[in-house]
Chains A and B, each alone.
Chain A
């Protein structure tokens, strides 16, 4: 059975199970993968279905990760007025403020079904002011550390998590480093202070550099059947 057939079966099973009670769940299929978007209130119930219903049977939670969508699609490249000002490698780095508050964060779960040999990505969006979602550690015990990581890196809170502590950052760390408004160079640096005889933390002195600016190109060369139609042809048609 090819991967496409298995995904067809999965779509059918999803339709059977979710249509009635969880109509708000939508899924899309791209790159040979299924992505299921679940409203956060229903997450726990839907996950329970995905885990226990036989035709779905996602026994493993392979990965949980947070995403911060605040700077999505944002380009640093500023060559628009290059003819007026002379060419400069101007990479503009401004704080992004125009993000959508109600869907700034997302938690992405990658589930794997060993019995059906198929994967599913479950995504749930969270707002910027109250990024709280139910923990799935009760369904998959292995999600424990992954959720701790998402909390540490993005400040996403998991309701019902048994032990929500920081995991990767230093003891006493402030902030959530993978958020888009957290600078790459960090906020503090540490050194050994000889007078005080201990390690001290100070605000960073180095400045963040951009070697290659972030450029968004509308380049659909690689997408199948997505070649942009030439303007002349459009006019003719």
Chain B
């Protein structure tokens, strides 16, 4: 009788469904997974070590590059920790702006996840649809920070600047026609807030479009229902957070349970799943987009009616305004000190976490009185989820590995750090 041996298969790191640079060593019995061993770290840049060699403020842009599809949420986690250490009170308007952009980021992230997940499973159209809406939201990023992805918009003490009064418009180029430019600029006649408000009115219709394509789609359900089931007990054990734990039926959301910024002042619901499979997590994330849209709407209303400062007035942590530096010696000194040496944080340590789109994103900073963090530990949600890869794929078929990677919503920028 022939000897039957398990087959070892290398998946990635150069595989379109590996979401970046995942290398999976799969031990297979025929087409059934016996053991999955993810090899991560191919994108390791040593962010934490780099941050230890830079003044606190210089590391904010690094945070964008961790989970590079939910940029501002990462910044929020980092600046939030420093604010906790310093005891800085962020102005209310800045808090609402942060909530606004956290939710825009959540929509951005979930759109990316939805498109990529559907593409992995075999649906092409959703990806193109999702990117259509991402374009609008990245324009909002650009309008406030000048960058479409790596914004560095949140600063210790508030946000970099107030929302612009005018939404940037498309200009005529030799490629487009005048009619087209006019059409694209339709929603951009007013301020940024007007543009976002217009988007929130359009967006629920777009979600309906995605749902038409997927929710009752037979192939989609065949690929997701009952795949990668995680019981609530296991979800707790494995350190799951975010949609991964909510998909298993545990109503845990830091925005509700441990509110930060202005989340205690806005109204929203936490969707949860019942079966803990990939399909439930899909439904949870779809509903989260609707809830985010609802929060964005409330923030827009509030921000339209409540002008005010967006940065704390303490010049030890926030730069003084330009005009003030022209005739105020103190302001000039503060500016110079802040941008050369930075501020020192007295000996202390703190952990602060935000509900990032993928789960709990937290920063743990140990300060020893210097102008640089002594130790920065970034708690990335994807790291814990990726660690459960073996358990979630065991006994499934090879094709389901792709569905499980998709449902975990992994991004290697944050896993490898």
Contacts and interface: CB of A to CB of B under 8 A. Distances in A.
Interface of A: 3, 30-33, 35, 59-63, 65, 67-68, 71-73, 75, 108, 110, 114, 117, 119, 121, 140-146, 149, 166-170, 177-178, 184, 210, 212, 214-224, 226
Interface string B154-196: 0000000000000000000000000000000000000000000
B46 interface: yes
15 contacts: A32-B84, A62-B241, A62-B379, A65-B375, A73-B347, A142-B384, A143-B239, A145-B383, A168-B41, A169-B44, A178-B46, A212-B341, A214-B370, A220-B346, A222-B87
Contacts of A35: 349
B65 to A, nearest CB: 16
B41 A108 contact: no
Nearest to B391: A141
Contacts of B236: 59-60, 114
Interface of B: 40-41, 44, 46, 48-50, 53-55, 58, 84-87, 236-241, 250, 252, 257-258, 316, 340-351, 353, 360, 362, 364, 366, 368-372, 374-375, 377, 379, 383-384, 386-388, 416-417
Contacts of A146: 383-384
Contacts of B53: 184, 210, 214
Given A184-B53, A212-B342, A145 B386 contact: yes
A61 to B, nearest CB: 6
A63 B361 CA distance: 11
A215 B49 contact: no
A217 B379 contact: no
B346 A63 contact: no
A178 B46 CA distance: 8
A140 to B, nearest CB: 6
Contact of A169 (B41, B48, B388): B41
Contacts of A33: 350-351
B387 A215 contact: no
Nearest to A218: B369
A63 B87 contact: no
Given A3-B258, A212-B371, A217-B369, A62 B346 contact: no
Nearest to B85: A31
A31 B48 CA distance: 22
Given A73-B369, A117-B258, A222-B86, A142 B387 contact: yes
A110 B252 CA distance: 17
Contacts of B349: 30-31, 35, 121
A217 B350 contact: no
A67 B346 contact: no
B237 A212 contact: no
A63 B368 contact: no
B44 A62 contact: no
Contact of A223 (B40, B346, B351): B346
A62 B350 contact: no
Given A114-B236, A121-B351, A221-B316, 16 more contacts: A30-B349, A32-B84, A35-B349, A62-B362, A63-B351, A65-B377, A73-B369, A75-B370, A142-B238, A143-B239, A146-B384, A169-B41, A214-B372, A215-B341, A216-B344, A222-B87
